[in-house]
């Protein structure tokens, strides 16, 4: 989830450590929250087989997230063995530089609070369901796990180059709302989609949004929507393609981007390779 909100943040930031981490106080979760978690999980699992990429589905099957709100320690035991990532409990949205610093050290900031029942269908800020269900399974995927660390390292650098907006677009159109071509057709790997009831079928099956073949500069030139379904999705061929495209030093890219106009979220340009569903 991107860190853009113009309303007071939901989490309790009063008890956090200097690195913005907190403890997961598991006893504080109520039976109603455990029940809401199970209903959210069941709703997403009914749609995942048809719309999520296999890499996500395969890992989700090895995690017991359906049993109730996960314990950070239990998941970290498995995750660290798999890709040396660690989930760190946080109150919610973090300042970009704090978020990048954690990611650059293979620590994924994961919110501890769960949404209210009336937010069953939509929530603006990352809650524990968005982070665990949307983001955590792909942290077990070696190539994707390396991409996220590289993203964090790039973010620390981008802050110094005053280029965070460009990188936030890349995060948004890949980690949060990315699509991937597979032998079975278009699938999603984006956490914002995977944890969303309505956008999961929409991003793959609805003819309305643009679907454009991934192009790094095109993505970083493109604005995005934070409070509606996306009007444009970018499609990668593989995680390796994403990893390779983002390996070089972005400094020259930022210089080029500063000279280009931003594109609206629903805009297409002649150079776009459009993908029809
Ligand atoms: N904080 N907890 C949390 N989770 C995010 O996904 C997150 C964030 N802060 C900023 C942010 N995402 C994005 O703006 C990144 O592009 C930096
Ligand atoms: Fe997110």
Domain boundaries, the chain: 26-257
Residue owning the nearest CA to atom 3 of ligand 1:
93
Nearest ligand 1 atom to the CA of 100 is 17
SS (H, E, C) 22-39: CCCCHHHCCHHHHHHHHH
Residues 236, 187: contact at Cβ < 8 Å?
Answer: no
Rounded Cα–Cα distance for residues 109 and 125 (Å): 13
Residue owning the nearest CA to atom 10 of ligand 1:
3
For the domain with range 26-257, which CATH number is right: 1.10.800.10, 3.40.1010.10, 3.40.630.30, 3.40.50.11540?
1.10.800.10
If one residue of 96, 169, 175, 224 were mutated to test the ligand 1 pocket, choosing by the most ligand atoms within 8 A of its CB, it would be 96
pLDDT tens digit sequence for 73-93: 999 999 999 999 999 999 999
Residue 222 per-residue DSSP state = B
Nearest ligand 1 atom to the CA of 168 is 16
Residue owning the nearest CA to atom 16 of ligand 1:
168
Block means of pLDDT (10 residues each) for the chain, length 277 residues?
Answer: 66 94 97 98 97 97 96 98 98 94 98 96 92 98 96 95 96 98 97 96 97 98 94 97 95 98 98 95
Q: Which ligand is the nearest neighbour of the Cα of 178?
A: 2
Query: Any residues with Cβ below 6 Å from ligand 1, and which?
Result: 1-3, 90, 92-94, 96, 99, 109, 111, 126, 155, 168, 171
pLDDT in the model for residue 1: 56
Residue owning the nearest CA to atom 17 of ligand 1:
96
Q: What is the pTM of this model?
A: 0.95
Query: Which of 32, 144, 16 lies closest to 79 in space, CA to CA?
Result: 144
């Amino acid at each position: 989830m991107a860190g853009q909100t113009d309303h007071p943040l939901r989490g309790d930031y009063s008890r956090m450590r200097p690195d913005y981490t907190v403890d997961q106080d598991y006893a504080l979760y109520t039976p109603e929250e455990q029940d809401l978690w199970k209903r959210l999980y069941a709703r997403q699992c009914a749609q995942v087989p048809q719309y999520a990429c296999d890499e996500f589905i395969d890992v989700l099957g090895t995690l017991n997230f359906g049993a109730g709100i996960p314990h950070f320690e239990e998941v970290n035991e498995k995750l660290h063995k798999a890709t040396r990532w660690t989930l760190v409990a946080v109150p919610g949205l973090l300042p970009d530089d704090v978020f990048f610093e954690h990611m650059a050290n293979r620590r994924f900031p994961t919110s501890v609070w769960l949404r209210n029942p009336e937010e069953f269908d939509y929530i603006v800020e990352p809650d524990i369901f968005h982070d665990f269900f949307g983001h955590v399974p792909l942290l077990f995927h070696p190539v994707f796990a390396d991409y996220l660390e590289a993203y964090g390292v790039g973010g620390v650098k981008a802050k110094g180059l005053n280029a965070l907006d460009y990188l936030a677009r890349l995060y948004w159109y890949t980690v949060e709302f990315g699509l991937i071509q597979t032998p079975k057709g278009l699938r999603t790997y984006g956490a914002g989609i995977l944890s969303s009831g309505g956008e999961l079928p929409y991003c793959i099956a609805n003819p309305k949004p643009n679907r454009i073949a991934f192009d790094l500069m095109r993505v970083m030139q493109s604005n995005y929507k934070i409070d509606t379904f996306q009007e444009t999705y970018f499609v990668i061929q593989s995680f390796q393609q994403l990893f390779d495209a983002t390996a070089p030093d972005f400094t020259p890219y930022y210089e080029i981007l500063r000279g280009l106009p931003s594109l609206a979220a629903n805009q297409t340009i002649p150079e776009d390779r459009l993908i029809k569903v």
